[in-house]
Amino acid sequence: MPKASSASNTEIRLQKLIADSGVCSRRKAEVLITEGRVAVNGLVVVEMGTKVNPNIDVVSVDDKVIDLASIEKVYVLLNKPRAYVTTTMDPEGRKTVMDLVWGVPTRLYPVGRLDYLSEGLLLLTNDGDMANKIMHPRYEVTKVYEVKVFGHVNEQLLEKIRKGVMTEDGLMKPKSVRMIEQLPNKTWLEFRLAEGKNREIRKICEAMDLTVDKLRRVAIEGLTIQGLPVGQFTFFSKRELLKALGMNEDGERLNNRPAFVSIKKTIDTRKATKMVGKTARPADDRRYQGFRKDKYYETVRSIKELEVLKKTEAAAQNVGI
């Protein structure tokens, strides 16, 4: 292992230094290290836990030296539209969120992920350490989502979700869930999550036989996309971002941590039944599953074909008359 400075109080983990430099996230940095693509003072390092002194040690990734002092940290808040991939590039040639962010002189990376059909608040930055503070469960950063599901939702179903849902990836339990709007055939719910597991809301809904129509992230702690049009972005300073997240420089929770307060009031599930359309079914009716994303277009095509058939039969009957 290459020698670092003896001043241990200034040493940091190698993957943290790489992430702080904006090369990639901390998790990706760990992958680069294990692949033998990182060197310290000219020697390749493949061991996790290696510490370096950013003031003395020379760190390079793929033979390119990292200079922390020359890298300006950038923080971008984007209101992601549907049908964009949350990645820096897509092998399938689909549009990525990077196509929406322009005029930035440095390479940015998405913080966390919103899947292809999800929309809403997405942070992009070259500050890997800040990204880790937002994503890591130990910082307990609350993320708020609005989710539209097919059918109508009753109080018993909401209570089951609140108690925790057993999914293929184990127990998943939101901090809270409530109804915020009842439509004739669909229901809007608000989920608040702290752990932010991959596709957590969709997995909870699937386990409860709910079919998601739309999913958008509206806030991360006190940071919100309110007033920011879909597809647009804005810049934040680190100080502004930390204030909105209710953190100090070390990622520690402040006593007066801000929280997102929605303007949408909680809808009483008993009163919501009066707003339900005559054709609406309970949200956990499995017939709605035909509208899930893997079956959606096939289902819509079948419905259209059925409508054409009915019109054709009606026209034939009229001719017979």
Taken in order of first residue, the domains within the chain and their CATH numbers are: 8-70 (3.10.290.10), 75-245 (3.30.2350.10), 286-311 (no CATH)
pLDDT at 3: 52
- Under the banding of pLDDT at 50, 70 and 90, the label for residue 17 is confident
* DSSP at 82: S
Tens digit of pLDDT for each residue in 53-77? 888 899 999 998 887 766 788 999 9
- Residue 5 pLDDT greater than 50, yes or no: no
Task: Please give the sequence-ordered ranges of beta strands (E in DSSP) within 4-87, or none if there are none.
Answer: 12-13, 38-40, 43-44, 51-52, 59-61, 64-65, 75-80
- Helix or strand (DSSP H, E) at 299: helix 296-320
pTM score, whole prediction? 0.78
Query: What is the Cα–Cα distance from 120 to 133, expressed in whole angstroms?
Result: 20
pLDDT at 310: 65
Tens digit of pLDDT for each residue in 189-240? 999 998 777 889 999 999 999 999 999 999 999 999 999 999 999 999 999 9
Contact (Cβ atoms closer than 8 angstroms) between residue 280 and residue 184:
yes
Query: What is the Cα–Cα distance from 168 to 134, expressed in whole angstroms?
Result: 25
- Which of 115, 169, 209, 268 is the catalytic position? 115
Indicate the Cα dihedral angle 234, 147, 272, 152, nearest 10°: 160
268 is catalytic: no
pLDDT at 293: 66
